[in-house]
Amino acid sequence: MKVALLQINPIVGDLYGNAAKIKEFANKAKGADLIVTSELALLGYPPRDLLLYPDFIAAAWESLQILAKDTKSLPPILVGTATFNKIKNGRPLFNCAAFLKDGKIREIFLKSLLPTYDVFDEDRYFESGSGLRILKYKDKRIGVSICEDLWNDRDFWQRPRYHFDPIETLAREKVDFIINLSSSPFTIDKQKLRESMISISAKKYKIPIVYVNQVGGDDDLIFDGASLVFDNQGKLLARAKSFDEDVIVVDLNSKSTAINDYLDNKEELIFKALSVGLNDYLKKCGFEKALIGISGGIDSAIVATIASQSLGCKNVIGVLMPSPYTSAQSMTDAQRLAKNLGIKIVTLEIASLMKNYDKALDNAFKGFKKDITEENIQARIRGNLLMALSNKYEALVLSTGNKSELTVGYTTLYGDLTGGLAVIGDLSKTQVYKSAKWINREGELIPKSIIEKAPSAELRPNQKDQDSLPPYDVLDKILSLYIEKHEGPKQIVSKGFDKDLVKRVLSMVAGAEFKRRQSPPTLKVTSRAFGSGWRMPIAARTF
């Protein structure tokens, strides 16, 4: 049997637009016997609280019926969608795959395992489906599974999350092959995990597995596509393009392969993922241009580079806002960066604005020494100017803070946290430097002096980040253990870190939670990012 994998980039909520795209790509599936989309492809993933509106689901069903009629002349299609739970008990919806054939919706296959970890919260909306999910078509018994249904092999995971393995159940029913409709967000190294997991399952059960993944950016999530087909020996037969829409048709009875490359360089992979996430975020939110506060520092340089290559240099505006503490070197670096990238730069001096603030607050601040308050005012002046330009130019402001700063609160609310999207908010400072070196692998795009100078916010004379923070190579190791590995203070100290330093760092992390709640959406590339998957309390004590 020839199966077509439709790897598309849907827009959340655009039911009729997504249906039109499914039809468009289904028409490209020449010679296929069966066509398959990704999970919830008709709705876009993740639809989140749109699922709370019955009218939305009713409209989805209507668009599905239209799609069935519009594709009547095409091979049957398994479409990822949602349907009402007509049983009185349980959640109101099912996450499902609808089988469209001869102009009608013929069957519905329900998702069994509902993830409620990290960015997932499916138990909020969906009821777990029960019963066998076997599609009988063309003398074949086809096992139908949806995303998480594939992720519970007890021989692969040390501690399976669920008590039930849908794939094992389908294998017992002697299906000819298994299809998995998926919307699996990108993180670094996840593709290796997927391929290993699917290969092991296919080989163990001696059943081919077809895995169709979504592609594109939706809010804080990035989907890398790279849909897969493994034969009954666990051998990779096909891999769709990564980070791009694609249609591949695979003959499950043939040994021929169609394997697209998947990026194996970490820095290149991150750059590509962030570029896709940024581009889709702007387009799906209705923006064409981006604004970036260019400081002459490493973080804004990385964001400007990603933006210029993702959106095109004509759609990126750099804003240089020097204060009396901005060094001549930083001014030069910012201007050189803008020239190298080919982006427009706007310069707004803020010294006079700082004086006006000082004058307005003079009486209220009488008797107080200058401190971080004045530094924050500088940052907030810049934030206000960026937002004014954003309104006037109809351009989205991109926040330039990195994960290290966001984690310990080395940021200013309504200042450098200003923006509609945090592009590198899931990259540690050390990873930012690695990315800069990769960007310059073939020539100096980011001025060398930006990479080599000590990082500084330049909010006071001779300020350096290390005046307030531990060295980034030490700080980032502690933060990674705590944030991404979920290790507590005792575990971290046992790895050789100073007890007082660990206590200080984790106290900073806890104290900055209120800031993170107000920061822009952050593009997720690691296993734990600040966004929809981060749910720490604000009013809490450290442990």
- Residues annotated as catalytic are 39, 111, 147
What amino acid is encoded at 474 in this protein?
V
Phi, psi of 6 (to 5 degrees): -95, 100
Residue pair 415/379 in contact by the 8 Å Cβ criterion = yes
Distance in angstroms (rounded) separating the CA atoms of residues 205 and 368:
73
Residue pair 67/22 in contact by the 8 Å Cβ criterion = yes
What is the helix, strand, coil percentage profile of the chain, to 5? Answer: 40, 20, 45
Across the beta sheet with 395-399, the strand order is: 344-347, 316-320, 289-293, 395-399, 421-422
- Contact partners, residue 208, CB within 8 Å, separation at least 6: 176, 177, 178, 202, 229, 230, 231, 232, 237, 252
DSSP 326: -
DSSP-derived 3-state class of residue 391 = helix
- Contact partners, residue 355, CB within 8 Å, separation at least 6: none
Phi, psi of 461 (to 5 degrees): -60, 130
DSSP 429: H
DSSP-derived 3-state class of residue 114 = coil
- Contact partners, residue 270, CB within 8 Å, separation at least 6: 188, 427, 431, 435, 525
Sheet strands (E) in 149-245: 177-182, 209-213, 215-218, 221-224, 228-230, 236-239
Strand partners, 229: 210, 238
